[in-house]
A and B are shown apart, each in its own frame.
Chain A
Amino acid sequence: MQAPSQPRMPHLLWLLFALSCTFGLHAFNLHYWISIAFAGLAIWRYLIEKYQWPYPPLWLRLPMTILGGVAVLGTYGSLFGRDASVALFAVMIALKLLETRNARDYIVMIMLGYFLTINTLLFSQAMWVSFAILLPIMALTACLIAVSHPNATLPWATQAKLSGKLLLQSVPIMLVLFVLFPRIPGPIWGIPHDAYKGMTGLSDSMEFGTISDLSLSSKIAFRAEFQSAIPDNSALYWRGPVLWHQEGRRWRMTSDTLPLKQESLEVFGSRVDYTITLEPHNKNWLLLLDMPIALPADAYAKHDLQILTKQPVRTRIRYAGQAHPQYKLGQTLGERERTLALQLLEDENPKTLQLAAQWRKDLAAPLDIVNAALRMFREQEFIYTLAPPRLGENPVDDFLFNIRRGFCEHYASSFVYLMRAAGVPARIVTGYQGGEINPNGNYLIVRQSDAHAWAEVWLKDKGWVRVDPTSAVAPNRIEYGISNSVSDANLLPILARQDYPILKKLYLNWDAINNGWNQWVLGYDEQKQLQLLKKLLGEKIAWGDIGLLLMSVLIGLMLVISYLLLRNKTIILDPLRKTYQQFLSKLGKIGLVKANHEGAIEFGERAAQRLPEQVSEIEAISRLYSDLQYASLDKTDNRHQTALQLLKQLVKNFKIN
């Protein structure tokens, strides 16, 4: 191996290109000043190379390094945690450019560059990111090739090609490792908590505006695959947090510490089986279709059939659900529960309270009160809108009697407020409603824009009955989804709208691919792995065998690759060389070894000096070999064959005395 030569401009350009790609990918993850700092330092380094400027001296580099650290500290408030650490790392790499001169520095930079590139996966593991990092990785590999190659003047296209070839050659090994590397249940290492900020989803409380804000996001909440036909949109109520406590404008879940009785559940009719792939939302509840009869592993149900997990959902998870659209929930209502379901702050919204009191007096039956409220929503001028105006001092009064424009949380909370005021136990359920069917793959995409809130009222003999006041105002919301129902659909994210059919179609195709990626690449866990191996190798395989399998497959693969590499280099000794080789090995026994660069005649002379008694034999053999190898006699010539026979004879008879 030749020592690498001093890196020059082509090497620097590779390095800068690779790092620019990496920083480009990180541009979304890191504070923008870091990208700017990198760009500045990269240009500086380029100018140093181009105009042979001096490298910045230590007294300049040292304060810059400290400044970089302080700036990261100032920006992120810490040097630890995912964002700050990666930012610090990135800043230091950018600064390191200023002292990257010789081949060793380059190699260090390339390794750091690989690491920084891999770090992008801490922020996003989307398919496009996984493929995008191939570009910087290829460029870094090309740079490594350029720096390490003894001939530094290879054209860049050759370096790029070589690098691509290397990466392609690593694909089989990557696949084997991916499929067979033993998956460990749960994450191997923890990711700092700041990694989960910015995840969107339902909250554990609800105020006016929280859901309509959420509805502006086209982010995917979860995807659902149905084992049977997908039920009607109007049956797709995905149950999330159930809210009981009213505190002014805010509604909250019940506390875990309250000893509330588990509500009974009776189910009828057909069962719907489905599987959900839930995007991480950093809250510890799962979403399930009303009403769930079985719980996913590691989940438990609250008394009101809200399904919770012990840990917040921070990675994409997949679970199976079973639901019965027809059910009877909560046959009886305990005293404590009734109190909770009627709780109200009574010193506000006088008009509403007055209306409820009126109803209570006129219509004794709770069902009639429910219907009266729904009729009010349906028959009076209520508008379903994504952009409701702010509500005043007595928000429910303001909404019901003045503004009358609102989103689902307005309707749900005013309805529940009315019911409670009229003495009907009621609660709010938040979650998602509906979803979009992706025909490519036949699954349902549920976005944040499908977030919804509805009500449940408790009626004697019927238990908790779902009442969706939004459907009274905008029946289409429940039948056909949000894009067909709001009065101002252009506020919705483009992907939740109906008016770009081609874009929509493209998107659905893309989402089907992404879904496959999530299921099969990111979601490839220990269960899937075992499942796959069992399918391939029979039922007997156990988790413990996977390591062994991995090793043997890797060794097999290496053997195949080595064979392919060495196949072309099999030493084919022609009879002439073979004969001469025999002569050489005879001399080798007494320590006379021909150097690789030594010609036959030259070596013959040296050997003759060592063995003066056998000069004639050694000379004859050497000369004959040299003649046969280099003289003009054609190999197919008979005389050549005769001479070769002679040489064989001579070598055979040659013995060291």
Chain B
Amino acid sequence: MQNKINTIIAKTSKIILGKEQQIKLALACILARGHLLIEDLPGMGKTTLAHTLAQVLGLQFQRVQFTSDLLPADILGVSVYDRNEAAFKFHPGPVFTNVLLADEINRATPKTQSALLEVMEEAQVTIDAVTHLLPQPFFVIATQNPSSQIGTFALPESQLDRFLMRITLDYPDAQSERRLLQSNGGREQLAHLSPAITSNELLELQLACQQIHVSDALLDYLQAILKYSREATQFTSGLSPRAGLSLKQCAQAWAMIHGRDHVIPEDIQAILSSVVGHRLLNSSHLENSTETVAALIRAVAIP
């Protein structure tokens, strides 16, 4: 099992150069059955990462470029009257897949965004009172430009909460960038990439992830973090119970990726920024989320 995980990471790292940490985070997010939000400037390899992950995990992949005129039906599908059968027939939209890449999700209107977010929550589509189940596994990798860019509809806080993790890619280091420039970009290799696992194996990994042991001592630490976030004044609101659960699941996945059968406080610290960065609102709005989370880690003692 550990081999498979290592293979996944190795294969992905060949395409996305010098971003092992982000790859691991993204993988942890998938293992913890969550949806992933990648936020960064255009051209940082967001789409490539999403595409690579789908390919490596042997999953069916659909990509939707979100634009301001995209409608919910463009994602979910639409019922069309079939003259031969004299009935409405449902034409599934791109959402009926394993991995949906929602590219530049913040360019679509809130109406379309919320249609997607509903699907993410329920893993099913209901149209004309008929419920269509999505294939399993199903997850959404959304990319978003920082909302300060012109012509975007920032996701509201309540919808950000639907994403288990939010990661950023950042500029590559000099060495990786040199290699990137020497090649022709990752896209060509991507076409030749063979899957490391099957989708069934992924489901098994997801199940195994839940079995990673979480001791009482670790829960004490987790609760100390939640308590602090609720009592400290630098946050306008503390972490919700859902955020707490998310933290636990991601830490389990992180421990699994690192070949441990139990979670240690370092796991929590490693995934904390990605899991709570978009959930904690800094009341002063001055620091960015990474600094805020770093301060949070520093402030909470490991019991």
Interface residues of chain A, those whose CB is within 8 Å of chain B, are: 2-5, 150-152, 595-602, 626-627, 629-632
- Of listed A3, A150, A630, residue having the most chain B CB within 10 A: A630
Whether the pair A630, B218 counts as a contact (CB closer than 8 A) is yes
Q: Which residues of A contact B301 (CB under 8 A)?
A: 596-597
Whether the pair B231, A630 counts as a contact (CB closer than 8 A) is no
In order of increasing CB-CB distance, the 4 nearest A-B pairs are: A596-B301, A632-B213, A599-B266, A599-B265
- Measured between alpha carbons, how far is A416 from B79 in the docked complex, in Å? 119
Could you say which of B40-48, B55-63, B144-152, B256-264 contacts chain A?
B256-264
Whether the pair A599, B302 counts as a contact (CB closer than 8 A) is yes
Q: Which residues of B contact A3 (CB under 8 A)?
A: 233
Whether the pair B230, A151 counts as a contact (CB closer than 8 A) is yes
Mask, B220-236, CB within 8 Å of A = 1, is 00000000001111000
For A597, give its contact among B230, B231, B261, B297 (CB under 8 Å). Answer: B297
Whether the pair B298, A597 counts as a contact (CB closer than 8 A) is yes
Whether the pair A601, B266 counts as a contact (CB closer than 8 A) is yes
- Measured between alpha carbons, how far is A554 from B261 in the docked complex, in Å? 56
Known contacts: A597-B299, A597-B302, A599-B302. The answer to whether A631 contacts B231 by CB under 8 A is no
Whether the pair A602, B266 counts as a contact (CB closer than 8 A) is yes
- Measured between alpha carbons, how far is A630 from B215 in the docked complex, in Å? 5
- Measured between alpha carbons, how far is A151 from B230 in the docked complex, in Å? 7
Whether, in the assembled complex, B269 has its beta carbon less than 8 Å from a beta carbon of chain A, the answer is yes
Whether the pair B217, A630 counts as a contact (CB closer than 8 A) is yes
* 27 A-B pairs in the complex with CB atoms less than 8 angstroms apart: A2-B232, A2-B233, A3-B233, A4-B233, A5-B233, A5-B283, A150-B231, A150-B233, A151-B230, A151-B233, A595-B298, A597-B300, A597-B302, A601-B264, A601-B266, A602-B269, A627-B262, A629-B215, A629-B217, A629-B264, A630-B215, A630-B262, A630-B264, A631-B213, A631-B215, A632-B213, A632-B215
Whether the pair B264, A626 counts as a contact (CB closer than 8 A) is yes
Q: Which residues of A contact B261 (CB under 8 A)?
A: 631-632
A-B Cβ contacts below 8 A, count: 58
Further pairs besides A630-B218, A631-B261: 11, Cβ < 8 Å = A2-B232, A2-B233, A151-B230, A151-B231, A596-B301, A597-B269, A599-B269, A602-B266, A630-B263, A632-B261, A632-B262
Whether the pair B233, A596 counts as a contact (CB closer than 8 A) is no
Interface residues of chain B, those whose CB is within 8 Å of chain A, are: 213, 215, 217-218, 230-233, 261-266, 269, 283, 297-302
Q: Chain A's nearest CB lies how many Å from the CB of B241?
A: 16
Q: Chain A's nearest CB lies how many Å from the CB of B247?
A: 15
Q: Chain A's nearest CB lies how many Å from the CB of B68?
A: 34
Whether the pair A599, B298 counts as a contact (CB closer than 8 A) is no
Q: Which residues of A contact B215 (CB under 8 A)?
A: 629-632
- Measured between alpha carbons, how far is A599 from B302 in the docked complex, in Å? 7
**CB-nearest residue of chain A relative to B265?**
A599
Known contacts: A629-B215, A630-B217, A631-B215. The answer to whether A600 contacts B264 by CB under 8 A is yes
- Measured between alpha carbons, how far is A595 from B299 in the docked complex, in Å? 10
Q: Which residues of A contact B230 (CB under 8 A)?
A: 151
**CB-nearest residue of chain B relative to A605?**
B266
Q: Which residues of B contact A151 (CB under 8 A)?
A: 230-231, 233
Q: Which residues of A contact B231 (CB under 8 A)?
A: 2, 150-151
**CB-nearest residue of chain B relative to A602?**
B266
Q: Which residues of B contact A598 (CB under 8 A)?
A: 302
Known contacts: A597-B298, A599-B264, A599-B302. The answer to whether A150 contacts B232 by CB under 8 A is yes
- Measured between alpha carbons, how far is A151 from B213 in the docked complex, in Å? 33
- Measured between alpha carbons, how far is A464 from B139 in the docked complex, in Å? 114
**CB-nearest residue of chain A relative to B269?**
A599
- Measured between alpha carbons, how far is A632 from B260 in the docked complex, in Å? 11
Q: Chain B's nearest CB lies how many Å from the CB of A282?
A: 55
Q: Which residues of B contact A627 (CB under 8 A)?
A: 262
Q: Chain B's nearest CB lies how many Å from the CB of A348?
A: 85
Q: Which residues of A contact B300 (CB under 8 A)?
A: 596-597
**CB-nearest residue of chain A relative to B218?**
A630
- Measured between alpha carbons, how far is A220 from B230 in the docked complex, in Å? 58
Q: Chain A's nearest CB lies how many Å from the CB of B198?
A: 29
Q: Which residues of B contact A4 (CB under 8 A)?
A: 233
Q: Chain B's nearest CB lies how many Å from the CB of A510?
A: 47
**CB-nearest residue of chain A relative to B237?**
A153
Q: Chain B's nearest CB lies how many Å from the CB of A252?
A: 73
Q: Which residues of B contact A596 (CB under 8 A)?
A: 300-302
Q: Which residues of B contact A152 (CB under 8 A)?
A: 233
- Measured between alpha carbons, how far is A640 from B298 in the docked complex, in Å? 31
- Measured between alpha carbons, how far is A600 from B300 in the docked complex, in Å? 15
- Measured between alpha carbons, how far is A632 from B299 in the docked complex, in Å? 27
- Measured between alpha carbons, how far is A58 from B102 in the docked complex, in Å? 55
- Measured between alpha carbons, how far is A631 from B215 in the docked complex, in Å? 7
Q: Which residues of B contact A600 (CB under 8 A)?
A: 264-265
- Measured between alpha carbons, how far is A390 from B173 in the docked complex, in Å? 111
- Measured between alpha carbons, how far is A331 from B68 in the docked complex, in Å? 120
Known contacts: A3-B233, A599-B302. The answer to whether A631 contacts B262 by CB under 8 A is yes
**CB-nearest residue of chain B relative to A576?**
B217
- Measured between alpha carbons, how far is A600 from B232 in the docked complex, in Å? 26
Q: Which residues of B contact A629 (CB under 8 A)?
A: 215, 217, 264
- Measured between alpha carbons, how far is A599 from B260 in the docked complex, in Å? 15
- Measured between alpha carbons, how far is A601 from B265 in the docked complex, in Å? 9
Q: Chain B's nearest CB lies how many Å from the CB of A7?
A: 13
- Of listed B232, B262, B297, residue having the most chain A CB within 10 A: B262
Q: Which residues of A contact B265 (CB under 8 A)?
A: 599-600, 630
- Measured between alpha carbons, how far is A151 from B235 in the docked complex, in Å? 10
Q: Which residues of A contact B213 (CB under 8 A)?
A: 630-632
